C-alpha cells in the first residue's frame, strides 16, 4: 500500500494549525502531522523525507530558527522544503528566517489565495529539484519512468536508448574522480545537445546516475541521432586524457587482481529497445530490455549502438534472437 506524502507542522503544544493551511490541505493527497518537539521532527525528517515542513515562527521562536538551520545544514534533510508561517509581517524577522535557510516565509502580507499558491509553487519546485540528477541537472529515474509511461499511454512509437561509458572505472583510477565528473558532465551535454538538436521536443534525455544515461527519441531518428552522438563522443573524449595516453590510444592499468593490462580510451555503448515490434505493459519492462541491450552492446568493440529488433513471440513460439548493431565512424 502506498504511503501518503506527509507534511510536518512544528508548533507549540495546543497551537492550532493556521486556517489557510487547513483550507489549502483540503482535497490534497497529503497527511498533516503536528509535531511539538524539534528533535523529534528532525529525526522524522532524517528517517523519511516529508514533502514539506511548516514551522510556526511565532510559537517556536529561536527553537524554530535553530531547527531550520540544522535541517538545512544536512545535505539530506536540506532537500525537504521548509516554510516559516507567521501572523505578523516584520521585515527583520522575515530576513532572519531566510538567513536560517527557510525556502519561504508566509505572512499576512499575502492574501489567503496567494499564501496557498506559494505553498503549491514550492511543492512543485521541490519535486522538480528532487527529480533531477544534481551533477548534470538532467531528469532522474522518477522522471525517466514518468516519460516512458506517458509515451506508452499516448500510443507513441518510441525508442529508449540506454547509454553507458566503457572503461570509465579505469579512467577514474588513473586520473581522479574530479576528472571523472567532468567526463560525466561532458557526456550529458553531448547527449542533450544532439538529442534536443535533432529530435527537438520529441527528444528526452535523463541521467540514471554515475555513467548511465537514458535518452528517448522517435523510432525513425535512431540511426541519425545515435550515429551523431557516437561521432561527437569519439571526437571529444580523447581530449579528456593527457597527451601521452591520447597519442598512444591506451594506457596500462591494474585489474582487480593487481595485474597490469592495456586499457583503451573510453568508448560509449548504447542499447536500444523500441515498441515498434513489441507491446509493453509497464515502464519496468522497457527498462529491463534496455539494460539487456546495453549489456550486449558492451560486448562489441568500440563505440556502438545496438537495436533490439525482436518481435513479441506468437503464443507457444520461441522468441527470435534478431538484433541490429551499428558502429560509430572509425
Question: Which residue carries 535541517 as its cell?
Answer: 71
Gap between the Cα atoms of 36 and 2, Å rounded: 26
For 174, the grid coordinates are: 588513473
- 250 or 78: which leads in pLDDT: 250
CA distance 17 to 122: 19
Residue 127 has pLDDT above 80, yes or no: no
Radius of gyration from C-alpha coordinates of the chain: 25
**SS3 category, 317:** coil
CB distance 245 to 251 below 8 Å: yes
Give Cβ neighbours of residue 327 (< 8 Å, ≥ 6 apart).
230, 300, 302, 303, 304
What is the reported pLDDT for 314? 62
Checking if the pLDDT of 261 tops 80, the result is yes
Surface-to-core class of residue 179, CB atoms within 10 Å of its CB (0-12 exposed, 13-18 middle, 19+ buried) = middle
Q: Residue 5 — pLDDT band, cuts 50, 70, 90?
A: low
At residue 329, the pLDDT reads: 43
pLDDT at 1 over 60: no
pLDDT of amino acid 152: 95
Domains of the chain are 6-130 (3.40.50.2300), 141-327 (3.30.70.270)
Mean pLDDT to the nearest integer, 164-170: 95
Q: Which helix (H) or strand (E) holds 241?
A: none
- Does the pLDDT value for residue 322 go beyond 50? no
Q: Are the beta carbons of 93 and 64 closer than 8 angstroms?
A: no
Distance CA 171, CA 240 (A): 10
The set of cell numbers assigned to 71 is 535541517
CB-based contact 230:297 (threshold 8 Å): no
Position 41 scores a pLDDT of 94
Mean pLDDT, residues 297-314 taken together: 90
- Residue ranges in 154-255 assigned as alpha helix (H): 168-174, 177-199, 222-236, 243-248
Contact 291, 325 (CB under 8 A): no
Question: Are the C-beta atoms of 204 and 286 separated by less than 8 Å?
Answer: no
Give the per-residue pLDDT at 327. Answer: 55
What is each CA distance from 328 to 20, 258, 304, in whole angstroms? 59, 32, 6
Contact indicator for 138, 205 with CB cutoff of 8 Å? yes
- Kindly report the pTM of this predicted structure: 0.70
pLDDT at 318 over 70: no
DSSP states of 68-84: HHHHHHSTTGGGS-EEE
pLDDT for 10 equals: 95
Cell numbers for 93, please give them: 524577522
* More confident call, 108 vs 185: 185
Q: What is the pLDDT of residue 2?
A: 41
Q: In terms of C-beta density within 10 A (0-12 exposed, 13-18 middle, 19 or more buried), how is residue 302 classed? A: middle
Query: Taking the CA of residue 261 as centre, how many other CA atoms within 13 Å lie in the half-sphere pointing to its CB?
Result: 10
**CA–CA separation, 191 and 198 (whole Å):** 11
Mean pLDDT across the stretch 182-207?
95
**pLDDT reported for residue 259:** 83
Q: Is the CB of residue 283 less than 8 Å from the CB of residue 148?
A: yes
Amino acid at each position: 500500500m502506498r504511503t501518503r506524502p506527509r507534511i510536518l507542522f512544528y508548533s507549540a503544544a495546543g497551537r492550532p494549525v493556521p486556517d489557510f493551511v487547513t483550507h489549502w490541505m483540503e482535497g490534497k493527497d497529503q497527511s498533516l502531522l503536528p509535531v511539538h518537539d524539534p528533535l523529534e521532527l528532525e529525526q522524522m525528517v532524517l528517517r523519511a523525507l516529508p514533502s514539506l515542513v511548516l514551522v510556526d515562527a511565532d510559537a517556536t521562536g529561536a527553537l524554530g530558527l535553530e531547527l531550520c538551520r540544522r535541517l538545512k545544514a544536512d545535505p539530506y534533510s536540506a532537500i525537504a522544503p521548509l516554510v516559516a508561517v507567521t501572523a505578523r509581517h516584520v521585515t527583520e524577522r522575515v530576513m532572519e528566517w531566510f538567513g536560517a535557510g527557510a525556502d519561504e516565509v508566509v505572512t499576512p502580507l499575502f492574501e489567503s489565495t496567494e499564501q496557498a499558491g506559494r505553498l503549491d509553487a514550492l511543492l512543485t519546485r521541490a519535486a522538480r529539484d528532487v527529480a533531477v540528477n544534481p551533477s548534470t541537472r538532467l531528469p532522474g529515474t522518477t522522471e525517466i519512468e514518468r516519460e516512458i509511461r506517458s509515451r506508452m499511454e499516448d500510443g507513441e512509437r518510441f525508442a529508449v536508448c540506454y547509454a553507458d561509458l566503457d572503461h570509465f572505472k579505469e579512467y577514474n583510477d588513473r586520473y581522479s574522480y574530479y576528472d571523472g565528473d567532468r567526463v560525466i558532465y561532458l557526456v550529458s551535454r553531448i547527449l542533450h545537445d544532439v538529442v534536443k538538436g535533432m529530435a527537438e521536443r520529441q527528444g528526452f534525455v535523463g541521467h540514471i546516475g554515475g555513467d548511465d544515461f537514458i535518452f528517448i527519441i522517435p523510432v525513425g531518428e535512431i540511426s541519425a541521432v545515435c550515429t551523431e552522438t557516437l561521432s561527437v563522443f569519439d571526437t571529444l573524449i580523447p581530449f579528456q586524457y593527457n597527451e601521452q595516453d591520447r597519442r598512444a590510444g591506451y594506457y596500462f592499468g591494474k585489474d582487480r587482481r593487481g595485474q597490469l593490462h592495456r586499457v583503451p580510451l573510453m568508448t560509449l555503448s548504447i542499447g536500444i529497445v523500441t515498441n515498434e515490434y513489441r507491446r509493453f505493459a509497464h515502464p519496468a519492462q522497457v527498462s529491463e530490455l534496455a539494460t539487456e541491450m546495453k549489456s550486449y552492446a558492451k560486448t562489441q568493440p568500440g563505440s556502438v549502438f545496438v537495436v533490439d529488433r525482436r518481435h513479441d513471440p506468437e503464443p507457444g513460439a520461441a522468441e527470435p534472437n534478431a538484433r541490429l548493431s551499428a558502429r560509430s565512424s572509425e
